[in-house]
Amino acid sequence: MQTLATKKDILELTLGKNFPDVAQTFLSVQTSSRFAAKRHRQECLCYGQNISTQFPSSPLQSFISRAFCSTMLVWLLACFCNNSTFAQGFNWQYSSRFPTSSPTLFVGVQGGFAPYSQNTLQLPYKEIQTNGDTCLCAEFSGAQGQEWRIGLVAEQWIEDGAFALFGAITLHNQRETFSAQSRALPVNPNIFPNTPDLITEYLFTNNLFQTSLELGAKYKFYPLPVFAALGISSAYVVQAQNRLVEQISTSSRGAYNFPEQVLSPTFFAINPLSFAATVRLGADVSLAKGLYASPALFATWQIRDIQTNTAWTRLTLGLHVSILLGL
């Protein structure tokens, strides 16, 4: 009957007669190793007790240590995660390994269109009679018009990306049409029965091309993309195209054969320099790394002097869009 061999039998067969000496040596080495390990643990425990005895730990010391570590961590985060890294509030990653600041100076183009503008002024039109006297034919008091604008713009962001200063050079074109009716020319009903009075209408079209310089400030309501901006500008008229015509009014049309007459618009002279204030409300939209667009609604209030020593005020409402690239 076969039985399993023990470790002792295997060693006896392998080592032969030298088995007792080898076994005794092995047991001695194993015992020495265990004793050395036990002694090492005791020395470590004693050393730890000595250290704790020399440098006792207290709750205040633990609190100070944790506070110091927290302060250092916050300082490091402030150094490597500065808000200036995210200019304009956009998380533009310029480097995946090292902290890199995003640009704070942006330049680009801008444009706008205003489908509505309300003009207010008092502009009389007078004609010289054959006897040398002047006759007040009509008085223009208001008009509606349109405007388009295009130009260059630059923005410099400060105060951790929430506040910016901007400047722009813009070319404007504004066009208004003023209308006023003349005084009625009465007709003798006995001679011309069922004939309405003769009333004419004056149409004055004003088309101005002007350049402007605008300076202003912009504030962004972070973390929202919404911003508000205020700009002060001064414009200079480069070219003016004026046209004045007299035509039959709607009430008198059909009763008279009155052809349209083109008159001289020299009665109108303006100061080429004007001043305006513009308010914008819009949002910044990221298009790519370092590139964003700023669509906004705007309202511009403009004031200008005319030759009659009265002010010509103009309120414009429209849409403004600018596209800027970081430098």
pLDDT of 186 reads 67
Give pLDDT tens digits for 255-288.
667 778 888 888 788 888 999 999 999 999 999 8
Q: What are the backbone dihedrals phi and psi of residue 158, each rounded to the nearest 5 degrees, phi first? A: -135, 180
Give, in order, the Cα–Cα distances in Å from 191 to each of 100, 119, 188, 200, 292.
91, 42, 5, 21, 73
Cβ contact 170:132 at 8 Å: no
Q: What is the pLDDT of residue 131?
A: 78
Of the ranges 47-61, 130-144, 263-277, 310-324, which one carries the lowest mean pLDDT score? 47-61
On average, the pLDDT of the chain sits at 76
User: Would you say residue 222 has pLDDT above 60?
Assistant: yes
From CA 196, how far away is CA 303, in angstroms rounded?
Answer: 40
Q: Is the pLDDT of residue 245 over 60?
A: yes
Contacts of 227 (CB under 8 A, 6+ apart): 218, 219, 220, 221, 280, 281, 282, 283, 284, 294, 296
Parallel/antiparallel/unpaired status of strands 134-158 and 105-128: antiparallel
Q: Quickly state the pLDDT bin for 318 (edges 50, 70, 90).
A: very high
Higher pLDDT, 305 or 240: 240
Tokens 């706008």 map to which residue? Answer: 112
pLDDT digits (tens, 9 = 90+) for 40-78: 455 544 444 444 444 444 555 565 566 556 555 544 444
Q: What is the pTM of this model?
A: 0.65
